[in-house]
């Protein structure tokens, strides 16, 4: 099979012909149809992600495909089942092996490019907004990076909950996509007075931040007393520094959300979230947005779309 392999930490993956991996106990082998890319894949390739595998490894955190073999002890899914799975790595290949207990049957009629990029983005936002922040109808939700892979799902899910969604993204095209997914207010990320713009709308009750840097600082200072700030990631490359006395004075909660971490200490949070989301999709209540679909041999271009922030929603690589 063909697979993109990171052979040395911090170097770009290379396309190789390698033997297809056989499933170990508790694993399944999957013929990959599509792999959804995430910003974390870029960090993993650099060697700076918190769960970077030892080299050599195949990047690609989530896939859609068909089970072709099962390891010892696996009862479900059975061979021939079409599934989506968050494996953490191994997706940028024609064949991969993944934990059987993370596989979720794909709803009938769900395209591979949608299924491959569905789990991480939607469940990250679902867990963040419902489990962590307890977002309520009528609250004002500010989403930083609102047209990105996770940000756009936060806009959509926030609107479904009944929040007044403020989308912050770069440029009119990205803001238009956020509007189409439920945003009530649109703010260009390049404005010099982001804090004042948010305050003029009445301030933030909940902030969803996948960006970090100066955007976090502006949103923090525009958060209402009793508000909650969700720290999702740092696409800007700058990790904000938070002064504890400011949290005290403003009565603000800052909450870290590492979705993958729940698989280690409270997996039911993730499995229940994914079940809810697939039910919402089957009911026609979600509208996943995939801006780019590229073939396997163009995976570096697909990763570069994330790196240069040229994409909206999800970027997917197909085999």
What does the pLDDT look like over 254-292, one tens digit per residue?
999 999 999 999 999 999 999 999 999 999 999 999 999
Per cent of the chain over pLDDT 90 is 98
Indicate the SS3 state at residue 105. Answer: strand
Per-residue CA distances from 103 to 58, 115, 117, 127, 189 (Å):
19, 12, 14, 18, 37
Same domain, 94 and 151: no
- Average pLDDT over the chain, rounded to whole? 96
User: What is the domain-level CATH number for residue 179?
Assistant: 3.40.50.720
Same domain, 192 and 109: no
| Digit-coded pLDDT (tens) for 34-63 | 999 999 999 999 999 988 999 999 999 999
User: What is the domain-level CATH number for residue 7?
Assistant: 3.90.180.10
Give the number of residues written for the chain: 319
Question: Cα separation of 153 and 288, whole Å?
Answer: 8
| Digit-coded pLDDT (tens) for 171-199 | 999 999 999 999 999 999 999 999 999 99
Domain that includes residue 138, residue range: 121-260
Task: Name the residue among 141, 156, 267 with its Cα closest to residue 207.
Answer: 141
What is the model's pLDDT at position 100?
Answer: 96
Tell me if 270 is assigned to some domain: no
Write out the two tokens for 293: 């679909």
Same domain, 110 and 150: no
pLDDT band per the 50, 70, 90 thresholds, residue 18: very high
Same domain, 201 and 186: yes
State the pTM of this model: 0.93
Task: Name the residue among 8, 7, 29 with its Cα closest to residue 19.
Answer: 29
Among 159-173, 208-222, 233-247, 283-297, the minimum mean pLDDT is found in 233-247
Rounded to 10°, the helix 119-126/149-161 angle is 50
pLDDT band per the 50, 70, 90 thresholds, residue 143: very high
CB 188 within 8 A of CB 166: no
């Amino acid at each position: 099979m063909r697979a993109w392999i990171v052979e040395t930490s911090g170097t770009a993956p290379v396309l190789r012909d390698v033997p297809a991996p056989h499933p170990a106990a508790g694993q399944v082998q999957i013929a990959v149809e599509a792999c959804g890319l995430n910003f974390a894949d870029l960090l993993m390739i650099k060697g700076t992600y918190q769960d970077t595998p030892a080299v050599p490894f195949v990047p690609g955190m989530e896939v859609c495909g068909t089970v072709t073999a099962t390891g010892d002890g696996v009862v479900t899914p059975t061979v021939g089942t079409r599934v989506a799975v968050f494996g953490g790595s191994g997706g940028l290949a024609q064949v991969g092996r993944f934990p059987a207990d993370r596989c979720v049957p794909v709803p009938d009629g769900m395209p591979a490019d949608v299924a491959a990029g569905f789990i991480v983005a939607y469940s990250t936002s679902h867990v963040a907004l419902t489990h962590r922040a307890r977002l309520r109808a009528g609250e004002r939700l500010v989403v930083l990076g609102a047209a990105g892979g996770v940000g756009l799902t936060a806009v959509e899910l926030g609107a479904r909950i009944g929040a007044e969604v403020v989308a912050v993204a770069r440029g009119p095209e990205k803001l238009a996509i956020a509007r189409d997914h439920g945003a009530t207010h649109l703010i260009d990320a390049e404005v010099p007075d982001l804090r004042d713009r948010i305050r003029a709308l009445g301030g933030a009750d909940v902030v969803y931040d996948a960006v970090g840097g100066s955007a976090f600082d502006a949103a923090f200072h525009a958060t209402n007393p009793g508000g909650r700030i969700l720290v999702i990631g740092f696409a800007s490359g700058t990790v904000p520094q938070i002064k504890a006395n400011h949290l005290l004075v403003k009565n603000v909660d800052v909450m870290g959300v590492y979705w993958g971490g729940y698989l280690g200490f409270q997996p039911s949070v993730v499995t229940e979230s994914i079940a809810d989301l697939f039910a919402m999709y089957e009911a026609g209540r979600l509208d996943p947005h995939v801006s780019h679909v590229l073939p396997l041999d163009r995976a570096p271009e697909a990763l570069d779309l994330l790196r240069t922030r040229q994409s909206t929603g999800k970027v997917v690589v197909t085999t």
